[in-house]
């Protein structure tokens, strides 16, 4: 295949993923998906190798790239099938992230898969928002082992009712809002499968299969060329998680990066062991964070496919913080530990190519989940923006989601329309970025008033260990959580009364390079 044909093919696959994402956003009901865009869409070949993805959530897509081959292998796929799974130890991330997989068959021949993953604010945990301060996986909600959501075009009604939160037999829950987002994912998958089948109809199934293989080989060549440009050597970096929510503090994540010609190896053996709290993560999540860092070394025109990651290997002891064993709790591992893995991998890469790597970004997703039962139950979940790190070419960005999350904020209008909440403060946290020749970006302050009694959960990081600077730059400010002005722990579940105010102040990014004389005088 010549380069022009390959480029057109890669962009056509990416366009299908973009269309899947637009359809999912338009058809979902929850603000978490339609406003925050906590969703991801991708296409895989018949062997479960990633071939294309939209610019969605890195932790979703990297973990799918790592685990999809095992998930789809040795199944009797038929037209109209939909597979659903959220088990973190079987290809998922954490329980709220539910994956739906549709096979793409042309004249009975399997040519690939269309896949969506989306965050569901209620997946059955006792804690509103299904992001509890948990100790076991079962406390975090409904665990869905890989099973049919649809089989040969027929909804599997008992499972659908469980997903909708309904007990016992009954009809398909089409009028239950909690089920609507699953139906939206199904529609998105089927649309992606239809588009890929159309392409195969135009060019032939053999041509499409060959093009997918060539695309991944091209991606591998691009990554090998980039790794060869790094300085060979062994580079070490470590950082700490603040705590696990169960009394353990200063929990280490350490990596040894070996760059050897066109290959890179990441060894996490010096990281802490599995903990009681929910900051553990399965190896697929650790892989997603590592893959993301190396993807960032490549320009935008490089295809986002499995071939990129073939020259990169990982090692982590089973039973460690970054390769947890069942039934370890993982709700915050997907969001918070993945963010710290990015920090340590980038810290190691900064030694191999200093000019290419920024200082640490906020290093947390500032997870807030809340809601209440009763006559009018509600569940809400969001992550919050912060500062990114300064770098050799300029300052960091302020008030953005960074690294492993690529979501938006929930707009104030949507938040106040859907939930008994009022936004009192939403502004830049000026001065929170680290000082330096290029400053780190500033975090935000977001203050919510409860208009009714509710229960809330915070899963946050960088409240103790600040985002580090690079090349002489200063660290960014640590974040803060406050209820009615009183400081809260980084990870906590509590009740709020009507009129209470909850403030989250997110961390700033680290600075890059020492301040010069002009900056000091200013």
Q: How far is CA 468 from the centre of its chain?
A: 22
Q: Which residues of 477-503 are buried (b: 16+ CB within 10 A; e: fewer)?
A: bbbbbebeeeebebbebbebeeebbbb
Instruction: Return the number of other C-beta atoms located less than 10 Å from residue 269's C-beta.
Output: 12
Collapsed DSSP state (helix, strand, coil) of residue 339: helix
For 516, how many CA atoms within 13 A lie in the half-sphere containing its CB?
A: 3
Mode of pairing for the β-strands spanning 486-487 and 480-483: antiparallel
User: How far from the centroid of its chain's Cα atoms is residue 113's Cα?
Assistant: 20
Query: Is the pTM above the cut of 0.75?
Result: yes
The count of other CB atoms within 10 Å of the CB of residue 202 is: 9
CA–CA gap between residue 446 and residue 424 (Å, rounded): 8
Each residue's pLDDT expressed in tens, for the chain with a length of 522 residues: 789 999 999 999 999 999 999 999 999 998 889 988 889 999 999 999 999 988 777 776 677 777 788 888 889 999 999 999 999 998 788 999 999 999 999 999 999 999 999 999 899 998 999 999 999 999 999 999 999 999 999 999 999 999 999 999 999 998 898 999 999 999 999 999 999 999 999 999 999 999 999 999 999 999 999 999 999 999 999 999 999 999 999 999 999 999 999 999 999 999 999 999 999 999 999 999 999 999 999 998 888 899 999 999 999 999 999 999 999 999 999 999 999 999 999 999 999 999 999 999 999 999 999 999 877 889 999 999 999 999 999 999 999 999 988 888 889 999 999 999 999 999 999 999 999 999 999 999 999 999 999 999 999 999 999 999 999 999 999 999 999 999 999 999 999 999 999 999 999 999 999 987 545 545
With CA atoms as reference, report the closest residue to 114 among 63, 175, 188.
188
Measured distance CA(332)–CA(163) in Å, rounded: 22
How far apart, in Å, are the Cα atoms of 156 and each of 114, 147, 162, 167, 416? Answer: 19, 10, 10, 15, 35
pLDDT digits (tens, 9 = 90+) for 460-519: 999 999 999 999 999 999 999 999 999 999 999 999 999 999 999 999 999 999 987 545
258-284 pLDDT tens trace: 999 999 999 999 999 999 999 999 999
SS3 at position 150: strand
Q: State how far the Cα of 366 lies from the Cα of 96, in Å rounded to an integer.
A: 16
Q: Which of 93, 80, 485, 137 is nearest to 325 (CA)?
A: 137
Q: Are 64 and 91 in contact (CB under 8 A)?
A: yes
**Nearest of 382, 467, 484 to residue 429 by alpha carbon:** 467
Other C-beta atoms lying within 10 Å of the C-beta of residue 119: 30
CB 108 within 8 A of CB 128: no
């Amino acid at each position: 295949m010549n380069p022009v044909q390959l480029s057109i093919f890669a962009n056509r696959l990416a366009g299908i993923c973009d269309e899947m994402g637009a359809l999912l956003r338009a058809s979902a009901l929850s603000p978490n998906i339609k406003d925050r865009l906590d969703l991801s869409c991708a296409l895989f070949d018949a062997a479960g190798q990633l071939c294309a993805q939209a610019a969605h959530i890195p932790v979703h897509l990297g973990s799918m790239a790592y685990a999809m081959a095992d998930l789809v292998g040795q199944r009797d796929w038929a037209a109209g099938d939909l597979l659903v799974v959220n088990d973190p130890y079987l290809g998922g991330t954490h329980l709220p992230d539910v994956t739906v997989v549709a096979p793409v068959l042309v004249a009975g021949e399997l040519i690939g898969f269309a896949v969506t993953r989306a965050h569901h604010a209620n997946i059955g945990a006792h804690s509103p928002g299904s992001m509890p301060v948990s100790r076991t996986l079962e406390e975090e909600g409904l665990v869905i082992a890989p099973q049919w959501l649809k089989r040969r075009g027929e909804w599997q009604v008992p499972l659908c009712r469980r997903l909708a939160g309904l007990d016992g037999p009954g009809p398909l829950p089409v009028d239950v809002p909690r089920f609507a987002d699953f139906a939206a994912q199904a529609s998105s998958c089927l649309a992606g499968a239809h588009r890929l089948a159309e392409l195969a109809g135009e060019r032939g199934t053999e041509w499409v299969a060959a093009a997918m293989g060539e695309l991944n080989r091209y991606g591998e060549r691009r990554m090998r060329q980039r790794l060869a440009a790094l300085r060979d050597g062994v580079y070490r970096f470590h950082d700490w998680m603040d705590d696990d929510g169960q009394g353990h503090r200063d929990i280490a994540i350490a990596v040894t990066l070996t760059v050897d010609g066109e290959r890179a190896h990441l060894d996490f053996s010096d990281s802490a062991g599995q903990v009681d709290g929910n900051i553990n993560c399965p190896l697929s999540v650790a892989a997603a964070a590592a893959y993301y860092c190396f993807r960032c070394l490549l320009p935008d025109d490089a295809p986002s496919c499995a071939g990129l990651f073939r020259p990169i290997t990982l090692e982590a002891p089973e039973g460690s913080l970054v390769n947890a064993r069942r039934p370890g709790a993982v709700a915050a591992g997907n969001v918070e530990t993945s963010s710290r893995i990015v920090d340590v991998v980038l810290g190691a890469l900064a030694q191999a190519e200093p000019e290419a790597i920024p200082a640490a970004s906020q290093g947390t997703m500032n997870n807030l989940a809340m809601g209440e039962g009763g006559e009018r139950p509600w569940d809400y979940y969001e992550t919050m923006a912060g500062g990114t790190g300064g770098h050799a070419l300029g300052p960091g960005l302020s008030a953005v989601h960074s690294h492993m999350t690529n979501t938006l904020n929930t707009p104030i209008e949507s938040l106040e329309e859907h939930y008994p909440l009022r936004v009192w403060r939403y502004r830049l946290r000026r001065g929170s970025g680290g000082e330096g020749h290029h400053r780190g970006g500033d975090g935000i302050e977001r203050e919510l008033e409860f208009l009714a009694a509710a229960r809330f959960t915070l899963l946050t990081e960088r409240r103790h260990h600040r985002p580090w600077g690079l090349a002489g730059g200063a660290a960014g400010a640590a974040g803060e959580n406050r209820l009615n002005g009183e400081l809260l722990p980084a990870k906590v579940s509590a009740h709020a009364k009507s009129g209470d105010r909850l403030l989250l102040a997110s961390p700033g990014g680290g600075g890059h390079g020492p301040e010069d004389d002009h900056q000091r005088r200013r």
